Structure 1
Amino acid sequence: MSDVTTTTGRAPTLYVPSAEALATVLAPGSRPPRPSALSASLTFGWRAMLKIKHVPEQLFDVTAFPIIMVLMFTYLFGGALAGSPRDYLQFFLPGIMVTSVVMITMYTGVGLNTDIEKGVFDRFRTLPIWRPAALVGMILGDVLRYVLGALVMLGVGLILGFRPGGGPVGVLAGIGLIVVFSFAFSWVWTFFGLVLRSEKSVMGVSMMVLFPLTFLSNVFVNPVTMPGWLQAFVKANPITHLVASVRAAMAGSSDATNLMWVLLWSAGFLVVFGTLTMRRYNRR
């Protein structure tokens, strides 16, 4: 019977590195400072502009669409309402600038809903940055679209014969009012972009809200010709206040009452829907 020799090996020692050793290997330098709220927001704003660069078709709604609106309504209603398209253009152009830019704001909610469905915002939430930076930056990026849309319509209007009495200063003041209001109004659609389930739903709801606001206003005609019950709605409409303020600024005058209402509406949209958006965003 042969001898059987059993060899028992020593169990290997498991090495567990300390936190200091891991920090030395993985991050030998000092930890970079956390980006500020402004820096993070501007970075996401730059991301929004890069999306336009890579998908230039997104600019269709701020280039071709405003041109079509100006040409169509000027020559469709100008002769009937003001005697000539050129005379009607003096009244109409500030209003159609407001209408076109305000309608563009709905794409803020559509884009947000698309990013959420793709899981992009879930990745943003894991970053060590100011939580609202992604939302604020997205809206800041859309401000470029608002300015571009207003400038395109102004250029077409000048070619057709629009002559603002307020000169360059009045025009800049009018565009500034449009941008301020549109920035605040965009927070309405960010909230809907978080609440609704699909981008089609966001677009459907936004159009259902925007069409009455823009068409039942002083954009196309003077409200004095409307029935009394409709005049009450038009006078309370924030678009009416914005159009009146922009018209006054571009004409070289001032309308303190409507300007006050524009600022109050803008502050209200920003506070109410900005707060609701942040709460909903943090709970997702």
Structure 2
Amino acid sequence: MSTLSLAARDSATMLRRNLTHLRRYPAMMIMSLGMPVLLLLLFAGVFGGAMQAGVGGGAYIDYVVSGILLMTVGYGASMTALAVNRDMTEGVISRFRTMAIARVSVLTGHVLGAVLRTVVSAVLVVAVAFLFGFRPAAGPGGWFAALGVVVLLALALTWLAVAVGLLAKNAEGANLFILVVQVLPFVSSAFVRPDSMSGAVRWFARHEPFTPVIDTVRGLLLGTPVGGSAGVAVTWCAGFAVAGYLWSRALFKRDPVR
């Protein structure tokens, strides 16, 4: 059996392990699935009328769905940071280092599990959004492209989350990543247009990494032009994915210091 085949087999085993753990830690699944839906209900059902002025024309639910999808990815990646940190602090990673398995499979299992959870969460968010009046204009190509951007973002944030989970000495340290992915979307185009913001906040919202990703997904779903945001979004996601992967590999190979 080739090295690639062995790595794929070991990665599948680690994926099954991570999916099995969801039964032992149901709070993680509830958080990944429930929080994005709760945010959608909050912003679309409670704040939607008040925030409509910040997005111009069109239904607010159509505007906000792409931002909620990005936060869905963030919550999924956050749960991965905690799961990896738990494996690290409980000595599971150290045991895996001594086993005759492809080392990358330990990390890949976490990443694949997170991406699967994210896709399920995203489908649930879109289904609930339809109940609130979400009416996208995208055809099959637009839906496929939007899903591709979401999956690419999930890979990027999850590899970064894996690195943070390996680096942090405890769960409190891993929570820093959670704080970042939860706060940054609020200072982006997720809930209102950056043009409605003021001063330095407007500049930051226009140039932070999440804004082009949100604008690209929104344009693909609503059938509006995405302009140059697509290229910027893919560049950010690819850069984060590569950086997170290389960082995670380096941390996993090092001798544990605990």
Superposition TM-score, scaled by structure 1 size: 0.81
Letter of the 1:82 counterpart = Q
Q: What are structure 1's unaligned runs of at least 5 residues?
A: 1-31
Alignment of 1:152-191 (within 5 A): 152-191=124-163
Shift of 1:76: 2.3
| Among 71, 78, 81, the residue aligned to 2:41 | 71
For the 8 Å contact 1:224–1:231, the answer to whether it is kept is yes
RMSD: 2.0
SS of structure 1 residue aligned to 2:108: helix
Residues 258 and 38 of structure 1: CA distance in aligned 2, closer, same or farther (over 3 Å): same
Highest Rg: 1 or 2?
Answer: 1
C-alpha distance after superposition, 1:146-165 (max 9, x if no partner): 00110111010001110110
Residues 128 and 232 of structure 1: CA distance in aligned 2, closer, same or farther (over 3 Å): same
Structure 1 consecutive aligned stretches of length 4 or more whose deviation exceeds 3 Å:
32-35, 53-57
C-alpha distance after superposition, 1:39-84 (max 9, x if no partner): 222221122112224443432113322221111111222112327x
| Distance in structure 2 (CA, Å) of the matches to 1:148 and 1:208 | 23
Residues 103 and 228 of structure 1: CA distance in aligned 2, closer, same or farther (over 3 Å): same
SS of structure 1 residue aligned to 2:228: helix
Letter of the 1:68 counterpart = L
Shift of 1:173: 2.5
Q: How many residues align?
A: 250
| Among 97, 114, 122, the residue aligned to 1:142 | 114
SS of structure 2 residue aligned to 1:163: coil
2:211 maps to 240
Shift of 1:261: 1.2
Shift of 1:212: 3.4
Residues 215 and 33 of structure 1: CA distance in aligned 2, closer, same or farther (over 3 Å): closer
Residues 221 and 208 of structure 1: CA distance in aligned 2, closer, same or farther (over 3 Å): same
Shift of 1:254: 4.4
Superposition TM-score, scaled by structure 2 size: 0.89
1:228 maps to 199
2:13 maps to 43
Q: What are structure 2's unaligned runs of at least 5 residues?
A: none
| Distance in structure 2 (CA, Å) of the matches to 1:261 and 1:253 | 17
C-alpha distance after superposition, 1:120-170 (max 9, x if no partner): 112211122221110012111111110011011101000111011004442
Shift of 1:33: 7.6
2:99 maps to 127
Shift of 1:94: 1.5
| Among 58, 77, 99, the residue aligned to 2:28 | 58
C-alpha distance after superposition, 1:215-236 (max 9, x if no partner): 1000110111112322221122
Residues 127 and 77 of structure 1: CA distance in aligned 2, closer, same or farther (over 3 Å): same
Shift of 1:250: 0.5
Q: Which stretch of structure 1 is more off in the superposition, 35-44 or 153-162?
A: 35-44
SS of structure 1 residue aligned to 2:230: helix
1:208 maps to 179
C-alpha distance after superposition, 1:162-218 (max 9, x if no partner): 011004442332232112111111122211111111012211x12332233111000
